Amino acid sequence: MTKEYFYTIQSWFEGYIKKFHSDDPAFQRNIELKRNHSRRVWKNAADLGKSISLSENDQLIIETSGLLHDVGRFEQFKRYGTFSDNKSVNHGWLGVEVIKKKEILRVLEKEEREDVYTTILNHNKKKLPGDKNERQLTFIKLIRDADKLDIWRMVTDYYCSHGETNNTLQLDLPDEPYVTLKNIDDLLKGRLVDLRNLHTLNDFKLLQVGWVYDLNFERSYEILEEKGYLTKIFSSLPDTEEVKQVREKIMEYMKKQGTGTRA
C-alpha cells in the first residue's frame, strides 16, 4: 500500500460523509461527531503505530483501519437513528459491508484487505478473537486502544460541559444518580463491565472506567494519563463509598502500568 493510496481513501471517506448531510441539526451533529471521531482514531492509530515501530506498509494499513473503523456508523444512524448496536445492527459488520460494496480497497493486496476487514470486525467486540495471527492481533489491539482513547475524549468533553443532553452519546440511558452494584463488583474484581448491566448513565461511565483493563500498549496508558480522562470521569460520578473503592482499585492498576493516575 502506498501513501498516495491512503490519501485516495481519505478523500473517498470525506466525500462519503458529505452524502449524509442533513438540515436537521441533531442528525447533523451526530454525523459530525462520528466524522471527527474517525479522524481522531486515525491520528491515534498513527501515534500508537509509531510507538511500536510498525513497517511503513503496516503503518498505512493501521491508519486506514483507524479512519474506516466506524464507517458503518453513518449508514447505521441513517437507517435506524441510533448508535446502539443492540437496537440496530453490528456497526463493524455494516462498515465492512460498505467498504466491500464501494470497493474502496480494490487496489490493496488481498491479504491487506483482509487485515483491514478483520481489524474493523473486531474493534467493537467484548474480547479479542482467539483465532487470529500475531500480526492481525497487533492491528486489532491497536485500533481498540486508539478507539477507546478517542471515546474517552468525547465523553469527558460531554460529561464536563454540562450542555444539552445528547441521548445518542449516552446510549439513551437515564441520567439518574444510581450505579448498578454488579458493575462495581466487576470492576473491583478486575473485570470489564458487562454491556447487559447498563441501566443508568453512571453505569456507562463505569464501563468506560473499566476499559483501563483492556488497553494493550504502553503508549495508550501514557496518553490516558496525560489527558486525565479517568480523573474527569470520576469527578462526574457520585461521591459514594463504592465509587471511591473503584477509584482506588483503578489508581492502583494504573500505577502497575507505570503511570500514576491523578484520579
Interacting residues with Fe ion (CB under 5 A): 70, 124
Q: Which is nearer to Fe ion, 65 or 124 (CB)?
A: 124
- Yes or no: say if 217 and 145 are a contact pair by the CB < 8 Å rule: yes
Return the C-alpha cell found at 156: 469527558
- Yes or no: say if 71 and 121 are a contact pair by the CB < 8 Å rule: no
- Yes or no: say if 208 and 177 are a contact pair by the CB < 8 Å rule: no
Q: Which is nearer to Fe ion, 153 or 247 (CB)?
A: 153
Report in angstroms how near the CB of residue 91 gets to Fe ion at its nearest.
6
DSSP tag of 82? -
Q: Which is nearer to Fe ion, 143 or 243 (CB)?
A: 143
Amino acid at 112: E
Q: Which is nearer to Fe ion, 154 or 188 (CB)?
A: 154
Residues sharing a CB contact under 8 Å with residue 143, sequence separation 6 or more, in sequence order:
41, 45, 62, 65, 66, 69, 119, 120, 123
Q: Which is nearer to Fe ion, 60 or 146 (CB)?
A: 146
Q: Which is nearer to Fe ion, 120 or 254 (CB)?
A: 120
Please say whether the dihedral angle defined by the alpha carbons of residues 92, 192, 80 and 70, taken in this order, is positive or negative.
negative
Among 54, 89, 57, 61, residue whose Cα is nearest residue 75: 89
Report in angstroms how near the CB of residue 263 gets to Fe ion at its nearest.
25
Q: How far apart are CA 39 and CA 157, in angstroms?
A: 17
Report in angstroms how near the CB of residue 178 gets to Fe ion at its nearest.
27
Position of minimal CB gap to Fe ion: 70
Report in angstroms how near the CB of residue 260 gets to Fe ion at its nearest.
30
Report in angstroms how near the CB of residue 69 gets to Fe ion at its nearest.
6
DSSP tag of 171? T
Report in angstroms how near the CB of residue 134 gets to Fe ion at its nearest.
23
